[in-house]
Amino acid sequence: MQKTILINSIRIRIIKFTTNMSTIFRVATNSDLPEMQKLYFETIQEVCKNDYNKEQIQVWSSGVENTERWLDVINTQFVLLAQIENQITGFGTLKDGNYIDLFYVHKDFQRQGIADKILDKLEIEAAKYHSQVITADISITAKPFFEKKGFIVKAEQRNIRLNVELINYKMEKKLF
Ligand SMILES: CC(C)(COP(=O)(O)OP(=O)(O)OC[C@H]1O[C@@H](n2cnc3c(N)ncnc32)[C@H](O)[C@@H]1OP(=O)(O)O)[C@@H](O)C(=O)NCCC(=O)NCCS
């Protein structure tokens, strides 16, 4: 980027060098799990704390310890990662070609269009299965994003996990 400013009638040219930090998208492997789990934990702790209380955040983020579930996700679902310079910046998973299971963007990379691109790619994957509808159970935090992307709320859900109530929404989008 090149910018010109005028100081005491002397023209100074400032050239700002920006590194080319382009995002790549790729399918996850087992070796990505630790970084994905860290991202999941930190995003819930930081990004969702305005929408859920401390107890709810603790219970939700404790899902990071369910190793069996994480292995099942990576081995049976379409797991798409966004990555910038060796750092995972977000991921979304598609189960059975029609259900979004996990969907998280790194706490330091919010509102940079990463979720937008991941979801577009999950929808392309769902279309390969000829899925008519894509569904998801969506947090209070993520609801505005999914609404922006054309999902509608079918039901508010009150789930009890470890004796704590967690509200989320059953949402769906018609693909055709
Ligand atoms: C929801 C989430 C995935 C969105 O990720 P993101 O990369 O920040 O979203 P994007 O930058 O692609 O957003 C695209 C557009 O969606 C809308 N949007 C996204 N987040 C929003 C919010 N919190 N409130 C209102 N609109 C929002 C905006 O229109 C945004 O465009 P803009 O930034 O130009 O205004 C992210 O905030 C997140 O990880 N949340 C916590 C995890 C979570 O709850 N996951 C769901 C589990 S069910």
Ligand 1 centroid to 111 CA: how many Å?
Answer: 6
Q: Domain for residue 11, yes or no?
A: no
The residue-averaged pLDDT of 71-77 equals 98
Domain total of the chain: 1
Question: CATH number, domain at 134?
Answer: 3.40.630.30
* Confidence band, pLDDT 50/70/90 cuts, at residue 12: low
How do residues 46-69 score in pLDDT, each as one tens digit? Answer: 999 999 999 999 999 999 999 999
pLDDT of residue 35 exceeding 50: yes
Q: Domain for residue 97, yes or no?
A: yes
Does the beta carbon of 43 lie inside 6 Å of ligand 1? Answer: yes
How do residues 132-176 score in pLDDT, each as one tens digit? Answer: 999 999 999 999 999 999 999 999 999 999 999 999 999 999 998
pLDDT-above-90 percentage for the chain: 88
* Confidence band, pLDDT 50/70/90 cuts, at residue 2: very low
* Confidence band, pLDDT 50/70/90 cuts, at residue 17: very low
Residue 1: the pLDDT is 43
The residue-averaged pLDDT of 39-51 equals 98
Residue 21: the pLDDT is 78
Closest ligand 1 atom to residue 116 Cα is: 12
Q: Domain for residue 137, yes or no?
A: yes
pLDDT of residue 38 exceeding 60: yes
Q: Domain for residue 144, yes or no?
A: yes
DSSP secondary structure string for all residues of the chain? -EEEEEETTEEEEEE-------EEEEE--GGGHHHHHHHHHHHHHHHSTTTS-HHHHHHHHGGGG-HHHHHHHHHHSEEEEEEETTEEEEEEEEETTTEEEEEEE-GGGTTSSHHHHHHHHHHHHHHHTT-SEEEEEEETTTHHHHHHTT-EEEEEEEEEETTEEEEEEEEEEE--
* Confidence band, pLDDT 50/70/90 cuts, at residue 19: very low
Nearest CA to ligand 1 atom 17: 145
Mutate to test the pocket of ligand 1, among 141, 145, 170 (most ligand atoms within 8 A of CB): 145
Q: Which domain holds residue 104?
A: 21-174
Mean pLDDT, all residues of the chain: 92
pLDDT of residue 11 exceeding 90: no
* Confidence band, pLDDT 50/70/90 cuts, at residue 20: low
pLDDT of residue 10 exceeding 70: no
Q: Domain for residue 158, yes or no?
A: yes
